[in-house]
Amino acid sequence: MPDPKSAPKSPIKPNINPAFHDDPGYYYIWTYESYYLGAADGGGHADDTAIQTDIPFKLAEEVGAFLRFTLWRDSSGHFAFQPYKVNFITAVNGGGRTSDALYTNATDITAFEQFQIAPVATKGLFTVSIQTANKNFLTAVGAGGKMTDAIHSDATTASTWEAFTIKKAGDLGSGLQYFIIPAPGGLPITAIGGGGLTQNTLGVYSVSGSAPLDWARFTLIYLPNGAHGVKTSAGFFLTAVNGGGLAFGSPTSDNIHTNATVASTWEQLKFIDRGDSTYSIQTFDGHYIGPHSTVTDAQGEYSTDISDINLALKFWLVPAGFF
């Protein structure tokens, strides 16, 4: 599909359903086999090529504008997906179809443009189903890799091909909650105990339950200089001690604390969009968060002394509100 590498966010047409508001930034949607959903030509199609799944995921490659979607939501848990060219995705007839299942030419959010998103816990960490107005589920045929007949809307239960992953890109907004996941293939970072610590502060989510999922929920608070304060589930902020520049902590203090009650200087972290559906995190003094150069710490401590962004860790941000 045509795939411009740089484009502004879709302009917002007037007279959109007033019950809905758009999230900041963009979202990428992946199939179970890690193919991107894309809107052919950025939208405007009313045929079986409207949504395609032929672009495989590849880290370190810029993701084009036609693979980005703006997410609209209302207060009742309904969502709408807006491709690049302003139009909205429609589940034709509200779902139940094995051809011409999705169109991308709607100019407003009516009943058939509304979807519900819910976890599919048995199909992998942070996968979701997308349900149509008629309570059918979207299916990525063959789990992806198709330019035509890519999506069906007749499934009545959510199984493997009905499992999708939604990841954030661009503007992260303020007050939204995310899981922060080292890419590729890592487990979410956790603030041990929900925060409030200066030692043994960060860990990783444990599917066995020893590190609850709530510890992995972080709320990003936008700050005037373009950075964010990263708030833990217990209401504390992450601190890069000394503003960054520390390869290690000490025997009595980590180099990242989780006990700040306000987002002051050392709590200012910038999320740098890398253009490939990941972010790197920059500390107040201009360094980046990265791996330790000589040791691996299973408890999740990181270096805050990386000066080259190309050596920094990359992170996926997954919206936590779906889980």
Question: Can you tell me the mean pLDDT for 117-141?
Answer: 91
Percentage of residues in the chain with pLDDT exceeding 90? 78
Q: Name the band, by pLDDT with cuts 50, 70 and 90, for residue 2.
A: very low
pLDDT digits (tens, 9 = 90+) for 221-241: 999 999 999 999 999 999 999
Question: Can you tell me the mean pLDDT for 114-138?
Answer: 91
pLDDT digits (tens, 9 = 90+) for 168-190: 999 999 999 999 999 988 889 99
Confidence at residue 279, expressed as pLDDT on a 0 to 100 scale: 97
> Are domains 21-168 and 173-322 of this chain identical in fold?
yes
Look up residue 257 and give its two tokens.
């604390």
What's the burial of 122, exposed, middle or buried (CB within 10 Å: 0-12/13-18/19+)? exposed
Hunting for tokens 């709530």 — which residue is that?
A: 214
Quote the strand ranges of 16-146, DSSP E.
21-22, 26-31, 35-39, 51-56, 70-73, 79-82, 88-91, 102-106, 116-119, 128-131, 137-140
Confidence at residue 8, expressed as pLDDT on a 0 to 100 scale: 46
Architecture of the domain made up of 173-322: Trefoil (2.80)
Confidence at residue 109, expressed as pLDDT on a 0 to 100 scale: 97
**Secondary structure of residue 94 in the 3-state scheme:** helix
Confidence at residue 64, expressed as pLDDT on a 0 to 100 scale: 84
Residue 108, Cβ neighbours under 10 Å: how many?
13
Q: Name the band, by pLDDT with cuts 50, 70 and 90, for residue 18.
A: very high
Instruction: Judge whether residue 211 has pLDDT over 70.
Output: yes
Range with the poorest average pLDDT among 35-39, 80-84, 243-247, 291-295: 291-295
Instruction: Judge whether residue 5 has pLDDT over 50.
Output: no
Look up residue 86 and give its two tokens.
């302003």
Of 288, 284, 287, 250, residue with least CA distance to 265: 284
Residues in the chain: 323
Instruction: Judge whether residue 295 has pLDDT over 60.
Output: no
Instruction: Judge whether residue 1 has pLDDT over 80.
Output: no
**Secondary structure of residue 78 in the 3-state scheme:** coil
Question: Can you tell me the mean pLDDT for 49-53?
Answer: 96
CATH number for the domain running over 21-168: 2.80.10.50
- Domain ranges (residues) in the chain: 21-168, 173-322
Look up residue 129 and give its two tokens.
């189903």
Q: Indicate the helix (H) or strand (E) that contains 260.
A: strand 256-260
Classify residue 261 as left (phi > 0), alpha (psi -120 to 50) or beta. alpha
